[in-house]
Chains A and B, each alone.
Chain A
Amino acid sequence: MHLIATLVWVFVALYLIFEYAPQEVTMGEVQRIFYIHVPAAWTAFLAYFILFLASVRYLWKRSLRADDYAHAAGEVGFIFCSCVLITGPLWAKPVWGIWWTWDARLTSTFVLWLLFIAYLMVRSYVENPARASVLAAVVGIIGFVDVPIVYMSIRWWRTQHPQPVIGGGEGSGLDPAMRLTLFVAWGAFLCLFSYFLRRRLRIAALARELRDARRARALQPAPGVR
């Protein structure tokens, strides 16, 4: 049911993006990348926020459920942050004439992507699961500092990246049809995010069940041994 609702939302979003939203005057058709680039970025922020909250909860309460949420949000967030870094240069090249520049917004987003990788690497390479969870939680909490920096970078510094069109103060803004399309597209990304998160949480639960079953099996006496 969740998957069907997600797919319906995705198709509605695609319809609005390609049929309903007006063509932007200066950039033309390529501006439609905006409708996946921005929602992917917002979804990556949300993922990191969940990672941060779940990591705090894990360190505070040692809740395994919180640890699962942090791990799942880290992995899914990495996927959406990758989408941002793929679509950004593909939009930049025809509009700016360059694929990449080390301005504050692009660099801080790249750092966010590296933080997702660092988080997942800590989880993979530390052998003791409890120690991996603690270290990963610390990385997740410290790394959260980068999220407001990414968000505020275009407000704090002069950047190649354009100024915000949502919540950007006077002179900023979007055509109502473009705004509607953007938020419907973000809705589609949120549906995908929650679908992935649920599947990833199920994987975490299965992995834990398997680990417990193996441990229980290892503790069983061998046949014939009393």
Chain B
Amino acid sequence: MTNRFLILAYAAVWAVLLLYAWSLVRRERRLEKELEDLQGDSTGERAGIEGVSASGHKST
């Protein structure tokens, strides 16, 4: 009977800690991806602008 409480306590604590670890990893990955996307977009736009100013035409 008392072992049930012991098991519940340990299971609950590890569940909370694992869920938190998972949420940290997920948030970190999402931010990294957003940053990569943003940097990718900026690079693409800059390349586009440079293409226009160098030749007077839009680069293909």
A interface, CB within 8 angstroms of B:
27-30, 32-33, 36-37, 40, 79, 82-83, 86-87, 90-91, 93-94, 192, 196, 199-200, 202-203, 206-207, 209-210, 213-214, 217, 220, 223-224
Q: Which of B9, B16, B49 has the most CB of A within 10 A?
A: B9
Whether A30 pairs with B2 at a CB distance below 8 angstroms is yes
B12–A90 CB distance below 8 A: yes
- Closest A residue, CB atoms, query B31: A206
Give the tally of cross-chain contacts (CB within 8 A). 83
Interface residues of B in 1-48 (CB under 8 A from A): 1-3, 5-6, 8-10, 12-13, 16-17, 20-21, 24-25, 27-28, 31-32, 34-35, 38-39, 41-42, 45, 48
Q: Given A196-B21, A206-B32, A223-B48, A82 and B9 touching (CB < 8 A)?
A: no
Interface residues on B, range: 20 to 34
Q: With A90-B12, A199-B28 given, is the CB distance from A206 to B35 under 8 Å? A: yes
The answer for the CA separation of A214 and B1 in the assembled complex, in Å, is 57
Q: Considering the chains assembled together, what is the distance between the CA atoms of A213 and B20 in angstroms? A: 27
Contact of B5 among A91, A209, A210 (CB under 8 A): A91
User: Nearest Cβ distance between residue A77 and chain B, in whole angstroms?
Assistant: 12
Instruction: Compute how far the CA of A86 lies from the CA of B8 in the bound complex, rounded to whole angstroms.
Output: 10
- Quote the shortest CB–CB distance from A57 to chain B (angstroms): 24
Inter-chain contacts of B12 with A (CB < 8 A): 83, 86-87, 90
Pick the residue among B28, B38, B39, B42 that contacts A203 (CB under 8 A). B28
Q: Could you write out 14 A-B pairs with CB less than 8 Å apart? A: A28-B2, A36-B9, A37-B9, A86-B13, A86-B16, A90-B8, A94-B5, A192-B17, A196-B24, A206-B28, A206-B31, A206-B35, A210-B38, A223-B48
Report yes or no: A203 in contact with B2, Cβ–Cβ below 8 A.
no
